[in-house]
Amino acid sequence: MDFIATGFIKAIELLISGDAATWSAILATLKVSTCSMAFSLGAGLPCGFLIGYFDFKGKKQLRTLLDTLLSLPTVFIGLVVYAFITHRGPLGEFGFLFTLTGIAIGQTILAFPVVTAITAATIEGMDKELKLTLITLGAGKRNILMTCLWEVRYGILAAGVMAYGRVMTEVGISMMVGGNIKYNTRTITTAIALETNKGQFADGIALGLVLMLIAFIVNLSVSFLRKQ
Amino acid sequence: MPEAVAYQLKNIRHYYENTCALNVDELQIAKGSITGLIGPNGSGKTTLLKLLAFAMPPSCGDIFYNGKKEGCFSPVVRSKITLLTQKPYLLKRSVFENIAYGLKIRKDCRNLDSRIRTALAYVGLDHAQFAQRKWHQLSGGEAQRVAMAARLILKPEVLLLDEPVASVDTQSARLIRTASLNARDQWGTTLVIASHDLQWLYSISDSQLSISNGNIFATGIENIIPGPFEETREKTVIKKLEDGQILTLKKPENKKNTAMIKKDCLRIKEDNGSDNQLSGQIISMLAGEKSSHVLTHICVQELSFTLKLVPDQICRMNLYPGKNIVLQFDSTDVEWI
């Protein structure tokens, strides 16, 4: 059991001393997760709103598909993205393989259904009087979209937090698409997997602590926003 | 000079799935008028108000506003017509932000604070006490009044109110009445108000429309007798009431199942000249502010009848709420709807 306690102590030392490999993995994780969250929120919120707000033919089937995509395995997304961006793939010419951009694409695909499905469910559960109230106060279509999203902001925050949780903790996409290249595409989760395999528990625990800290900061921010 | 028309409805039909909720061949509402809508739950009042608010399109037919055919989201009507729903939704923000919302989307933020102060005063709420309150810190009546203030601040051309006094106390109902009358007098606002509170509605409205099963009667409240009816051999149908009394009506020409007897055709028994004589009790008497008649509601078992009486007749017959009377009408006075 000593190795766990030793690991904790060494982890703190690594973080405080500014170990280059550890901080490189942390920065890579923050970069790709921020990027993928920005894209998935940018696309997922309007899509979720449209699906939740309007009734159309095939809506139920689309919701079923979205709910299925919620549990999409990360290795499968990694495989599909790899197939598309590898040199022989349709997007091979862009050179995304083994880059942070490639990981961000995969993580966007992972987070998009989470944001879309939860936003759609939140909008569907919205008070029906809201739409009527907004129309009769003179709101145009854009005002209705923005006000509805604002009214269900807690639900949307939950969607963002859930999606962020999936993005931050995934290993499959980062490993397959990023290649786990030190100082380049190594993220916190791939680094933990590697260091644990090597028996370097201290590095793994240090990165695990950072993940926990990020999760704590995100939840603290959400809690603060809710109070506002 | 002919009265200016705010609304003209032509051949309006509105369906929810296969059920016809509203059926209006022709209806006009004058500018600057206050029109009361009377009718039981599910009669089509809210549907009519939503259509007048252009919040949804009718299944078929045309609605003209100020002489022009308009539709949902038309910029012409969007900023001029507003509806206060039965259960008003307050945005999840402060009272100030709720009232300011309509002005902000119109990009009209001049003297916002003083205008909100005035709007709150219209509905009897103190700015200092309420402006910064959150939506969840209001009682039902206060929320209703804040929602009303959010409409009044817009100085709308048309203000549609759906059961505005259903969940408020007498004082709030009086304030809403005063605010509605002010809107008409100050800005020439046209008001259409649906309410079950007949006393309140008669005290505010210039004219009343009665709605039953989606049909509108411009003559105000009328007497609706729902089916089923039993057929007889003598080209009549009958309805047996719970206490054994029998209503006899002329048989409908087609398969219509709801009878209407206009209030002008009803009499309180003074002779034996009618084929329908029903024992009932006067339950209320309402004097309209702008009419010399007294609307008298009479309960006959499960049916409720309304008739118009003149004060002289009331004095002569010594009529008062609670008095048992006999109601008369002829079987041929029926209209089938």
For residue A151, give the chain B residue with the closest CA. Answer: B92
- At what angle are helices B112-122 and B140-152 packed, to 10 degrees? 130
Contact B335, B290 (CB under 8 A): no
Could you tell me the pLDDT band of residue B247, with boundaries at 50, 70 and 90? Answer: confident
Mean pLDDT of B158-168: 90
What's CA A1's distance to the chain center, in Å?
Answer: 34
Task: Give me the residue from A137, A140, A150 closest to B82, CB to CB.
Answer: A137
What pLDDT, on a 0 to 100 scale, did the predictor assign at position B3? 66
Domain A23-187 has CATH 2.40.40.20: no
Strand-pair partners of B296 = B285, B307
Q: Which chain A residues contact residue B101 at CB under 8 A? A: 137, 147
**Neighbouring residues of B232: CB distance < 8 A, sequence distance ≥ 6:** B238, B248
Residues found in chain B = 337
CB contact under 8 A, B81 and A136: yes
* Residues of chain B that touch chain A, judged by Cβ-Cβ distance less than 8 Å: 50, 53, 55, 72-73, 78-79, 81-85, 87-89, 91-92, 101-102, 105-106, 150-151, 154, 160
What pLDDT, on a 0 to 100 scale, did the predictor assign at position B191? 96
Longest dimension (CA), chain B: 74
* Cα distance between residue A97 and residue A95, in whole Å: 6
CB contact under 8 A, A141 and B73: yes
| Residue B94 in this model has a pLDDT that exceeds 70 | yes
Q: What is the pLDDT of residues A147-172, one digit of tens each?
A: 998 999 888 888 898 999 899 999 99
**Neighbouring residues of B51: CB distance < 8 A, sequence distance ≥ 6:** B9, B12, B14, B22, B57, B58, B63
The one-character DSSP state at B295 is E
Q: What is the pLDDT of residues B24-61, one digit of tens each?
A: 999 999 999 999 998 888 889 999 999 999 999 999 99
| Residue B13 in this model has a pLDDT that exceeds 60 | yes
- As for the ipTM of the complex, it is 0.78
What is the least distance, in Å, from the CA of A135 to any CA of chain B?
Answer: 6
Task: Give me the residue from B81, B105, B151 closest to A139, CB to CB.
Answer: B105
- How many Cα atoms within 13 Å fall on the side-chain side of residue A186? 16
- Which pair of structure tokens corresponds to residue B88? 């008003």
**Chain B contact present for A16, CB below 8 A:** no
For residue A154, give the chain B residue with the closest CA. Answer: B92
Average pLDDT score over chain B: 87
* Cα distance between residue B206 and residue B35, in whole Å: 6
Torsion of CA B114, B118, B120, B126, to 10 degrees: 80
CB contact under 8 A, B83 and A132: yes
Could you tell me the pLDDT band of residue B263, with boundaries at 50, 70 and 90? Answer: confident
| Residue B242 in this model has a pLDDT that exceeds 90 | no
**Chain B contact present for A50, CB below 8 A:** no
Q: What is the pLDDT of residues A18-73, one digit of tens each?
A: 888 888 998 999 999 999 999 999 999 999 999 998 889 999 999 999 999 988 89
Average pLDDT score over chain A: 90
Mean pLDDT of B108-127: 92
Q: What is the pLDDT of residues A118-152, one digit of tens each?
A: 999 999 988 888 989 999 999 988 899 899 989 99
**Sheet of B294-300, strands arranged across:** B267-268, B324-329, B276-287, B294-300, B303-309
Q: Which of A126, A137, A144 is the best residue to mutate to test the B interface, defined by the most B CB atoms within 10 Å of its own CB?
A: A137
Collapsing DSSP states into helix, strand and coil, what is residue A200?
coil
**Sheet of B258-261, strands arranged across:** B223-226, B258-261, B334-336
Collapsing DSSP states into helix, strand and coil, what is residue B283?
strand
Could you tell me the pLDDT band of residue B166, with boundaries at 50, 70 and 90? Answer: confident
**Pairing, β B158-162 against β B190-194:** parallel
Contact B298, B328 (CB under 8 A): no
Q: Is the dihedral of CA B273, B277, B283, B288 positive or negative?
A: negative
| Residue A14 in this model has a pLDDT that exceeds 90 | no
The one-character DSSP state at B197 is -
CB contact under 8 A, A138 and B82: yes
CB contact under 8 A, B85 and A136: yes
Find the helix or strand (DSSP H, E) in which B237 lies.
strand B236-240
The one-character DSSP state at B3 is P
**Chain B contact present for A60, CB below 8 A:** no
Task: Give me the residue from A130, A138, A151 closest to B105, CB to CB.
Answer: A138
Residue that has been written with the tokens 């604070």 in this structure: B113
CB contact under 8 A, A129 and B102: no
| Residue B2 in this model has a pLDDT that exceeds 60 | no
Q: What is the pLDDT of residues A82-91, one digit of tens each?
A: 999 999 999 9
Could you tell me the pLDDT band of residue B253, with boundaries at 50, 70 and 90? Answer: confident
Q: What is the pLDDT of residues B170-227, one digit of tens each?
A: 888 888 899 999 999 999 999 999 998 888 888 888 888 888 888 888 777 778 887 7
The one-character DSSP state at B309 is E
**Domain range list for chain A:** 23-187
In 3D space, the residue among B82, B187, B94 whose CA is nearest the CA of residue B146 turns out to be B94
- Which pair of structure tokens corresponds to residue B202? 């008669």
What is the least distance, in Å, from the CA of A222 to any CA of chain B?
Answer: 17
| Residue B169 in this model has a pLDDT that exceeds 90 | no
Q: Which chain A residues contact residue B84 at CB under 8 A? A: 136
**Pairing, β B324-329 against β B334-336:** unpaired
Mean pLDDT of B156-160: 95
Q: Is the dihedral of CA B180, B184, B187, B191 positive or negative?
A: positive
What's CA B162's distance to the chain center, in Å?
Answer: 8
- Which pair of structure tokens corresponds to residue B70? 């308009």
Q: Which chain B residues contact residue A136 at CB under 8 A? A: 53, 55, 81-85, 160
Q: Give contacts of A 101-160 with B, CB under 8 A.
A: 127, 129-130, 132-133, 135-141, 143, 147, 150-151, 153
Task: Give me the residue from B82, B87, B106 closest to A129, CB to CB.
Answer: B87
* Cα distance between residue B229 and residue A139, in whole Å: 48
In 3D space, the residue among A96, A118, A224 whose CA is nearest the CA of residue A165 turns out to be A118
Q: Which chain B residues contact residue A132 at CB under 8 A? A: 50, 55, 83, 85, 89
Residues found in chain A = 228
Find the helix or strand (DSSP H, E) in which B192 lies.
strand B190-194
Task: Give me the residue from B85, B101, B154 closest to A132, CB to CB.
Answer: B85
User: Percent of chain A beyond pLDDT 70?
Assistant: 99
Residue that has been written with the tokens 């009209």 in this structure: B108
What pLDDT, on a 0 to 100 scale, did the predictor assign at position B129? 94
Contact A26, A206 (CB under 8 A): no
Could you tell me the pLDDT band of residue B1, with boundaries at 50, 70 and 90? Answer: very low
